[in-house]
Amino acid sequence: MAEEKKKILYSGMQATGDLTIGNYLGALRNWMTLNEEYECFFGVMDLHSLTVRQNPAEFRQRARNLFALYVAAGLDPEKNCIYFQSHVSTHAQLSWILSCYTYMGELNRMTQFKDKSSKHADNINAGLYTYPVLMASDILLFQADVVPVGKDQLQHLEITRDIAQRFNGIYGDVFTIPEPYTGKIGARVMSLQDPTKKMSKSDENTNASVYLMDDADTIRRKFKRAVTDSDAEVRYDVVNKPGVSNLIDIYSATCGKDIKDVEKEFEGRGYGDFKMAVGDAVANMLTPMQERYEEIRKDKEYLDRVIRANDEKAFYFSNKTLRKVKKKVGLTEEIR
Ligand code: AQP
């Protein structure tokens, strides 16, 4: 019997900072098992990262490190397509075409543009504004059926669907209309210094985030200094005890324990003990990944080979869509 064709899943991360345990527990860790059910494409979204000014030398390193981390975290580059967005020219090309099918009124409604422009008031560039069109292109090029998105990206997935439906309405069925991924979603990890906002890789306060490459002492120190409250009871209550609740979430996601069991485990033990346990658990989770990462990062030949093969696969796949789009809109065919 012919094997049933897997649905396609698309996701990626920006190289805007070193990955945090938020990126890991919230996304990367769950990507590992998705390839059993889906054909997966994961991008290093380096073009998106340019909407914020980057130091070129650091950025180049960081993007390569991000790729190596995908592999170190357990993403098999033979079973998933993991690649650099900037190496695959179809992204930029489709993005231009789709920007001609996107209305300013739609982009004006994007809340992330408003948030990011207030954060980077000295650099409100057009890329920040048209970011959702590039994101739509990423997804539509691969004919993705599903996209794992956090709440803050849901609006961008909706505009992706609108653009695709508009295009299909004019030219026939060109794009698959993507759905949000509804499977198991990872934990939402909050800042250790301000538990009302999410942990972010670009947060300037390095004590607010635990990075995947932090050593065990640094991790323990960051958890020890994490902002909590004064009543010393390890109890889950996001509204009144956001700091402790965030630590419970992290511990629960790291050890695979239920929140109720975590509360029971630390009943009457105070915050000092609890913070130490969270620090130890996170350090133990990260150590094997850090060791694999060091090995992979040193093996230039292996990394180059895997990057080349995956870039080619991503180009081959996405170019099928781009060629179709170009034909539909009436661009002349290339003569080679
Ligand atoms: N704190 C978090 N908790 C759970 N999941 C998170 N993700 C990010 N932060 C948390 C998930 O990680 C992926 C990374 O997506 P991205 O690189 O495109 O950017 P982002 O969501 O804006 O992540 P950051 O770390 O906050 O980056 P900056 O600082 O550049 O804005 C996504 O799947 C996201 O849901």
**Six token digits for residue 292:** 């694999």
- Residue 2 CA, ligand 1 centroid: distance in Å: 38
**Six token digits for residue 39:** 């054909």
Ligand 1: does its nearest atom lie under 6 Å from the Cβ of 180? Answer: no
Ligand 1: does its nearest atom lie under 6 Å from the Cβ of 201? Answer: yes
Is this structure's pTM higher than 0.85?
yes
Ligand 1: does its nearest atom lie under 6 Å from the Cβ of 198? Answer: yes
Ligand 1: does its nearest atom lie under 6 Å from the Cβ of 195? Answer: no
**Six token digits for residue 16:** 């805007």
Those residues with Cβ within 8 angstroms of residue 336's Cβ, 6 or more apart along the chain or in another chain: none
Kindly give the number of the ligand 1 atom that is closest to the alpha carbon of 13.
17
Q: Count Cβ atoms below 10 Å from residue 155 Cβ, excluding itself.
A: 16
- Between vectors from CA 186 to CA 142 and to CA 188, what angle results, nearest 5°? 115
Kindly give the number of the ligand 1 atom that is closest to the alpha carbon of 49.
30
Percent helix, strand and coil across the chain, each to the nearest 5: 55, 10, 35
Where b means 16+ CB within 10 Å and e means fewer, 186-201 reads bbebbbbbebeebbbb
Query: For atom 11 of ligand 1, which residue has the closest CA?
Result: 23
Beta partners for residue 81, in sequence order: 41
Positions annotated as catalytic residues are 116, 198, 201
Ligand 1: does its nearest atom lie under 6 Å from the Cβ of 65? Answer: no
- Residue 200 CA, ligand 1 centroid: distance in Å: 6
Q: What is the per-residue pLDDT for 3?
A: 65
Q: Which residues of the chain have pLDDT under 50?
A: none
- Residue 335 CA, ligand 1 centroid: distance in Å: 42
Q: Are 37 and 262 in contact, with CB atoms under 8 Å apart?
A: no
CA separation for the pair 134, 127 (Å, rounded):
9
Q: Cα dist. 111→152, 183, 258, 286 in Å?
A: 9, 25, 34, 34
Ligand 1: does its nearest atom lie under 6 Å from the Cβ of 77? Answer: no
Q: Is the dihedral of CA 149, 185, 142, 303 positive or negative?
A: positive
Kindly give the number of the ligand 1 atom that is closest to the alpha carbon of 190.
1
Kindly give the number of the ligand 1 atom that is closest to the alpha carbon of 48.
18
Q: What is the per-residue pLDDT for 61?
A: 96
Q: Cα dist. 162→22, 178, 322, 327 in Å?
A: 29, 10, 18, 21
- Residue 156 CA, ligand 1 centroid: distance in Å: 14
Residue 27 has what DSSP assignment? I
Ligand 1: does its nearest atom lie under 6 Å from the Cβ of 200? Answer: yes
Please tell me the number of Cα atoms within 13 Å of 330 on its side-chain side.
2
Q: Is the dihedral of CA 95, 16, 155, 26 positive or negative?
A: positive
Ligand 1: does its nearest atom lie under 6 Å from the Cβ of 242? Answer: no
Ligand 1: does its nearest atom lie under 6 Å from the Cβ of 44? Answer: no
**Six token digits for residue 311:** 């870039």
- Residue 88 CA, ligand 1 centroid: distance in Å: 22
Helix (H, G, I), strand (E, B) or coil at 320: helix
Give the chain's end-to-end CA distance (angstroms, integer).
39
CA separation for the pair 111, 120 (Å, rounded):
14
Q: What is the per-residue pLDDT for 120?
A: 85
Give the residue, out of 66, 200, 202, 238, with the most ligand 1 atoms within 8 A of its beta carbon, to mutate for a pocket test. 200
Residue 175 has what DSSP assignment? S
Kindly give the number of the ligand 1 atom that is closest to the alpha carbon of 191.
1
Q: What is the per-residue pLDDT for 213?
A: 96
